[in-house]
Structure 1
Amino acid sequence: MMTSENSTDTPTLSLLLLDDEQCILDSLKRLLRKDYRLITFTQGQEALAYLEENHVDMVMSDMRMPNMDGAEFLCRAKAIIPEAIRILLTGYSDLESTIKAINQGGVYTYIEKPWDNEALQLTLAKAAEHYKLKIEKQRLTGRLANANKELEQFNQRLEQKVSQRTQALQISKQKLAMALNRHQDLFQDVLEMISATIEYRTGLGSAHTKRIALQAKALAVQLKLDECECRRIHLCALLHEIGTVGLTDDMLKQPNISGTNLDETFDNHPVIGADIIGQVKRFEPLTATIRHQNENIDGSGLPEHLAGDDIPVGARIIRVVKDFDYLIAGKQNHKKITVNGAKIWLQKQAGVLYDKNVVNAFLQIISNKSHNQDMEMIYSVGLEAVRPGDVLTEDLTLDNGNTMLKAGQELNDAMITRLRHYEKEYATQVTLFIN
């Protein structure tokens, strides 16, 4: 049976609720009616039939129901409306089924029963914001496409051929250069599109890029570089992996620390990136930093074997930050080490791979969080350094792909203890990212 309820001022987002207990639906309607346009069902088949004919933005289903459980319903709903946000109501005893729903039904998150009203509202608000941002991104893409015919052609080509290698990117960058010359006010939007290309090619999310960029900028400030240079280094860090679009899939699986690869082609991806960036006039000042990010301080690096101060300071900074991040959290690093272990590595390689002054300044920043309260920064910490009250900036995802803790959660003693048990039981290292 279906019911629909609207508030006086029709909310922006629609929310479909499915539960075989009418009393549960009534409780949810009382709680959520002012925030969403609600459509409720007690039967899974009726809800699926409705989705075949109507659009909804969000779907929330109970797990345990007769005839069709929540995991099956959300999996089938995903096939009908893949863009909708899917949320599962579940009890602790349904953990196995919950994992199934997450894997097969593309569940955004789950809420344990009995729920806390404020926590449920906050979770739904975050899901709604995620959905709105996705829709807003689509709207902005359309707006850019209408700006003029040449930029529209560029956007269409980027959308259709982003997975192609250097040839397609060469065509796109020419159009990008033309657009930048004619539309300086679109600079930020173009930068976001380039970042999305890097994320798509490397499989690394925006959180990774943001973390590297913020740490590189903070390190530049710590070294007392001028404001203009700090901004330039921050921008270089956002774009330092652009050259990976010219690599094969096998090359992208290579280790990410220069000098450890079997194929030097990977170490030379900064050259590809510098050539790409150099085609855009406004980005020309960034090319040297991007090109030389894999040089070694002793002159043994690539591509030109520069040494010491001949290596641009921005390249020396990015080298330290990205290698540190790879050691503790690299996607292709199957032998991750602890944060303390990575610090020791940097110290041992200072004077060989890395600039000693840059290493010392970086270690000072990441080891003295309490002294950097005014600095915009994301810290990489192990469990030995995390404290109750620290707030996660990124989801904590297990090796099996499941999310243990969500971004935005404030850690407490119980959570930290549970993480230490997990680390010990599975003989693994847990790295957290906090601000």
Structure 2
Amino acid sequence: MEEPTVPTPSHRPKVLLVDDEESILNSLRRLLRTQPYDLLLATSGAQALEILAQQPVDLVMSDARMPNMDGASLLTHVRERHPAAVRIMLTGYADPTAIIKAINDGQIHRYISKPWNDEELLLILRQALEHQHSERERQRLERLTRVQNDQLRQLNSTLEKHVAARTAELQQTADMLDLAYEELKHSYVTGTEVFSLLANLRLPPAKQTNRQIIELVRGYCQAHGLDEAVSRDLAMAAALYNVGKLSWSDTMMVTPSDLLRHTDRDRYRSYPKQSESVLMTLDPMKDAARLILHHQERWDGSGFPDRLKGEAIPFGSRLLKLAVDFVELQRGLILERQMNTDEALLYLRQYAGRLYDPDLVEDFIQVCAAFLSDITLIDPAVKVLTTRDLAEGMILARNLNADNGMLLLNAGKVLSGLLVEKLIAFEAMEGGKYQIFVKVPEAVEAALKAQG
């Protein structure tokens, strides 16, 4: 394997652009001419390999469809001969087979569709090169760690008379090195997270879901001591659950599922099967693919694709559905209105036994409470009431927003009789139905009990 270049402050990354259309290369050259990169251009895979044989290159971005040698084959050769180079595929057509080949054989870093967004492409290149720099730094630190450990062992063998005095200091140094090494391992991007990034690139930041779903699923696995294999499959399923949506239009990607109609509705219901089909070709993904296939099944049997019911639904699929719905409700991908965290958890609780495994819901809520800081639902002093159940003296536990997102009242507001009447009137005028999170002081609760 070739030794990666050690980054220096003066190092300018070399970027090789490969496309059989010179107009595309010219467009990319104009876009990148102000960037701190040295640009190299090639109009074929063979020419690109000749350039790589003559000089080190930090990043290769290749078109997918080219005569003689396509982009996936070129990037596979690059991975085999120049593994330190970051690999990106650029294409103007949707071809799952080419994407899978590029990911499996070429181990590409990213996939970008034509026509590209200039700002997005610049951001992707910058992030890819920053990641490469971080990886090289990780390797440098690993080498440094090995050298320091060797030095410590030599010091230990030659200074036996001073072992007692130095033991605590050496142990502290070793612990710090081990901690740094563990942090470096955790920062390394896994293969499934590459797939996750492909899906996220199709969504605006406010609609991206995969990262939070992965964290919630891992949190549940840790809290309940699930074994390593189960935890690994669940984490991969969380990262890849929506890979079947990559062929959707941009509009459909951000439309709430409850608003989809006709053909779009049918395409939505087929995405778990499409996700599974893509991943079943990868042997290590087969168990995760099965969890993805059934993550839209419902506890009462009304889900899809196979209308499984109750415990016939795999456990991991039931857990994944809770995490997916919890996050997508807050992103506005299920209902037209975006919910806050408490409203999303209340929704899960309300539909326990219909959409969700009733034995999993409360455990999941507790895990969410442990990982998220803005949840009031688990506080026994907090009640969820309608406007007509409100009473003077109650205190808002959360901000109250209208259905259009406008802030009506801040958390901590003490309700007066007049304010309750205004809320009822506003709700009637808007035609909505608010769920209001309040704390009920003991005196107010005692007065309510005395009344009725």
> Which TM-score applies when normalising by structure 1?
0.48
After TM superposition, the score normalised by the length of structure 2 is: 0.46
